Amino acid sequence: MAGGQDIKSALVNWDGVHGLPDFAAIEDGDFNTAFAAAMPLHLAEIEAIADNPQPASFENTIAALELSGKALRKVQALFWHRAGTDSTPAIQELEREIGPELARHQSAIFMNDRLFARIEALHESRQGSDWTPEQVRVLEQHHKGFVKQGAKLAAADKHRLAEIDQRLAALAAGFGQNVLADEKDWILLLENQDDLAGLPDSLVAAMAGAATQRDHDGKHAVTLSRSIVEPFLVASSRPDLRQIAFDAWAARGQNGSEHDNSEIVAETLKLRDEKARLLGYESFAALKLDGTMAKTPEGVEGLLGKVWPAAVSGAANHAALLEEIAVEEGHNEPLKASDWRYYTAKLREREFDLNEATVKPYFQLENMILAAFDVAGRLFGLSFRELADVAGPHRDARVFEVRNRSGDVSGVFIGDYFSRSSKRSGAWMSLLQKQHRLDGGQIPIVFNVMNFAKPAKGSPALLSLDDARTLFHEFGHALHGLMSNVTYPSVSGTSVSRDFVELPSQLYEHWLTVPEILEKHAFHVETGEPMPQELLNKLLAARTFNSGFDAVEYTASAIVDMRFHQASHDSSSNLDPIGFEAQVLAELGMPEAIIMRHRTPHFLHVFYGDGYAAGYYSYMWSEVLDADAFKAFEEVGDPFDPSLAKRLEQHIYSTGDSIDPEATYTAFRGQMPTADAMLNKRGLAV
């Protein structure tokens, strides 16, 4: 990485509306020099804290640590946003280079003996201090973070741990770029009218747009964007084309080419295992679960083990009904994974008189954005105003000013909704800037990224019900960042344990299907008529339809993730990740017509960094909480009950990690829940 002393002003001087950066002034080539300058600046600040001649105090050590690295944080936030949403060859090259550099930088901080000595001294004296509960929590989290990053290791082990972290960063970058390459490069061109059999007009239009974007005017392209490939698998009456598309979707990252991720996964698992043992843990799973609500791998296995039999039973009953329909249509061969969504759509239409072509016209993207904003207004008093003249990080990105119930600007929300070849797949929330109150404080700048199919110019974007749920889910994450109300940035917003972070997002999904929200925002794209009560009743009645399939594909992924990270992977062993995956699924009795929601070679949650490594279970753990939390509103008969909404804001959406998650959930609900409410919600209660 090139050296340099100056950082381009636009990267660190965010002087736009409400403190936004000037996105248009930032070029790909600016980041290299910025990183080269920002990291030494941060280390100089760390050295000043470590060498402070005054005795360690909370202010001169912990608060100073919280504020350090401001320039680097800004450069990183902008870089990782661009790497995820508008990647280029130059950005990808720097991503491969900067990951190990940043890992080396972090190691230098966590393994600074003089800095850790100050933190250790404060940690030992915390019980007799007059610090606030938030300050004690912040100190304890810093101390644990330093220990888990090697602060107490011998010199040789520190050196080895730093090497491991640098290599893991490089492997993560390679993994993500391989998946992006497979998703970007693969298309299935449909040449004639027969190839479009069964497809709704909205999907045909989206596929025409995808073909045009790839220089195939006049044709239609199936891509590996979820917003195209999944509707295609649902609607296409061509089993041969469904099989081709499904195989490509399932095989991302596993194709024997230069983009194959098998070796990356194997090396990653070996290094993670070595890291955990260096730090004194039995497994990487034990390391990652230390400090979570689940606490141990056994706690996770207990939840997943309870759900799995009910999920398999529900899926088997569903599969039998699908096979009956297939036989009626003259297909006597065993049900295939590529057929499941197609026949499920037919079964849904038979049982509930529901199909995508009937439902989708009522879920316009624009209206669903307004619906998500409406719920936030009713529950929390927030209002959103689009700043149409303020440029976002991409021409498709939209910027919204957020005001609280007092009318003050309390944050900025950026929505980037459409798929493009330079954007990695999936949907996520992240922050350009966290809320905190130190040194004058700052408001949060939050963004949601989606991958909905972009409609033809002048046409509205239509969503499936699942798409609309995804929008609400990610907006729930956004609210967790926007509503944060803490003093210290390290515990702000979504900086919580992995198995708590999905609670605000999954809980928010419930409000999508609250009747008064659909009645207000679900209007037919052509007639402008509100969704008929009959259709709404059908949607609500079908909420648990196909839940066995959903639970199987998710739980299988969570179990494989846990087994990968509980196992011992000796550095000299010949680890075959794909074979390991197959072995675990065989032991579970995985239904043949269902695959993991995220197969190992494209499991971005787990291998594009370690954010959800040994943590994919957290969606279900949080679902136990969210089902119980929404039940509180059902019990009082008002989804917008003011008293409950106030407690929800106080104990769930605004506290960040300033309070232990179990304590703050109990403060909201009175006690911790069992899995029963979640199983009932899914229709899987036994």
Distance of CA 660 to the CA centre of its chain: 22
* Structure-token pair, residue 135: 């300050």
Render the burial of 279-298: b for 16+ CB within 10 Å, e for the rest. Answer: bebebbbbbbbeebbbeebe
Burial of 631 (0-12, 13-18, 19+ CB in 10 A): middle
- As given in the structure block, the two tokens for residue 634 are 């059902």
CB atoms within 10 A of CB 387: 17
Q: Look up residue 675 and give its two tokens.
A: 């899995």
* DSSP SS3 for 638: coil
Among the listed residues 465, 258, 264, the one whose alpha carbon sits nearest the alpha carbon of residue 354: 465
User: Which of 396, 372, 307, 389 shows the shortest CA–CA distance to 512?
Assistant: 372
C-beta of residue 429 within 8 angstroms of C-beta of residue 415: no
Contact between 223 and 211 (Cβ < 8 Å):
no
Instruction: Give phi and psi for 345, each to the nearest 5.
Output: -65, -40
Cβ neighbors of 217 (< 8 A, separation 6 or more) are: 211
Between CA 452 and CA 461, with CA 455 as vertex, the angle to 5 degrees is 60
For 552, residues 6+ apart whose C-beta sits below 8 A from its C-beta are 311, 312, 315, 590, 591, 594
* DSSP 8-state secondary structure symbol assigned to residue 462: B
**Alpha-carbon distances, residue 510 vs 451, 471, 548, 601, 620 (angstroms):** 21, 12, 19, 32, 15
Rounded to 5 degrees, what are φ and ψ at 255?
-135, 10
Q: What is the phi/psi pair of residue 121, to 5°?
A: -65, -40
In whole angstroms, give the CA distance from residue 107 to residue 151: 9
Alpha carbon 350 to its chain's center: 34
Judged by DSSP in three states, 603 sits in coil
| 3-state class (DSSP) for residue 637 | coil
Alpha helical stretches, state H, 502-639 = 503-509, 515-521, 533-541, 547-566, 577-588, 604-607, 618-636
Strand locations in 191-317, DSSP E? 220-223
In angstroms, what CA-CA distances link 93 with 3, 36, 174, 526?
16, 15, 10, 46
SS (H, E, C) 57-95: CHHHHHHHHHHCCHHHHHHHHHHHHHHHHCCCHHHHHHH
Cβ burial of 51 (10 Å; 0-12, 13-18, 19+) is exposed
CA distance 227 to 260: 24
Chain centroid, CA 141 distance in Å: 23
Q: Letter for the amino acid at 413? A: F
Q: Which residues are catalytic?
A: 474
Handedness of CA 79, 81, 84, 89 (dihedral sign): negative
Q: Which pair of structure tokens corresponds to residue 352?
A: 């509930």
Paired tokens of 685: 């209660």
Which pair of tokens denotes residue 20? 């936004």
Q: 604, 598 in Cβ contact below 8 A?
A: yes
DSSP state of 16: S
Cα 248 versus chain centre, distance: 23
